[in-house]
Amino acid sequence: MRLLLVEDEKKVADFVARGLRAERLAVDVAYDGNAGWDLASKVDYDLIILDLMLPGMSGTEVLRRLRRHGRNAATLILTARDATADKVENFDAGADDYLTKPFAFAELLVRVKALLRRPPVSRSPVLRIADLELDRQTQQVRRGGKRIELTAKEYGLLEYLASHPGRVLSRTMIVEHVWDESFEGLTNIVDVYVRHLRTKVDDPFPVKLIQTVRGAGYCLTEAAQE
């Protein structure tokens, strides 16, 4: 696993890098924001540990640029800034974890290990299947550039399907992921909602995206299933 540490306090940077290397992790260090961005934009890191207050580009700006460029490296913010507003801003910008200074190395290490265990995920807030677009941050849905109004459950169902494009999802899987424990109905609720969704997302358009896979479930894909 290859990590990038962006930290301008040399003592902290050296201490953290030494500790991580002792765990057999490969660690590159950048001592300012511009050098951090430069490395992060060129190397496909598994994890980036990012200070916020840096000379040159701020840590938040490095993070924003990374996500804008579709860079999916897990990111842990390591900073003295402990205000909720800072945490919210950086999680919104695409951070995966946030640890405030002063910190214990043992805690940094367990967080690093937990992040490295996660499978890579798509971090773009926008899911795209053909001309369908779902913005997971604003929960807005568009098709062919046209805004589509959905209810909360219709949106939940579409988001679940769109997060697994091309994959057949059974009614049971859909109910488990889209409805909560308070729901005690039958899985045919899925068919009802798929019908609602189709009238809004597919019926007005020539290409149908929501496919019924007989005996198996549903699938969101551009290619029609037999």
Nearest approach, Cβ of residue 86 and Ca ion (Å): 13
Looking at the chain, list the stretches that DSSP marks H as alpha helix, in order from N- to C-terminal side.
10-22, 33-42, 59-68, 84-92, 105-117, 152-163, 171-178, 188-201
CB 102 within 8 A of CB 15: no
In the complex, the residues that contact Ca ion under the rule CB under 5 A are 8, 51, 53
Nearest approach, Cβ of residue 51 and Ca ion (Å): 4
Nearest approach, Cβ of residue 49 and Ca ion (Å): 12
Q: Find the residue with minimal CB distance to Ca ion.
A: 53
β-strand partners of 76 = 49, 97
Largest alpha-carbon pair distance within the chain?
A: 62
Identify which of residues 98 and 179 has a Cβ nearer to Ca ion in the complex: 98
Identify which of residues 51 and 97 has a Cβ nearer to Ca ion in the complex: 51
Nearest approach, Cβ of residue 53 and Ca ion (Å): 4
Which residues are within 8 A (CB) of 90 and not within 5 positions of it... i.e. 6 or more apart? Answer: 52, 59, 60, 63, 77, 98
Identify which of residues 53 and 216 has a Cβ nearer to Ca ion in the complex: 53
CA distance 82 to 105: 18
Identify which of residues 43 and 53 has a Cβ nearer to Ca ion in the complex: 53
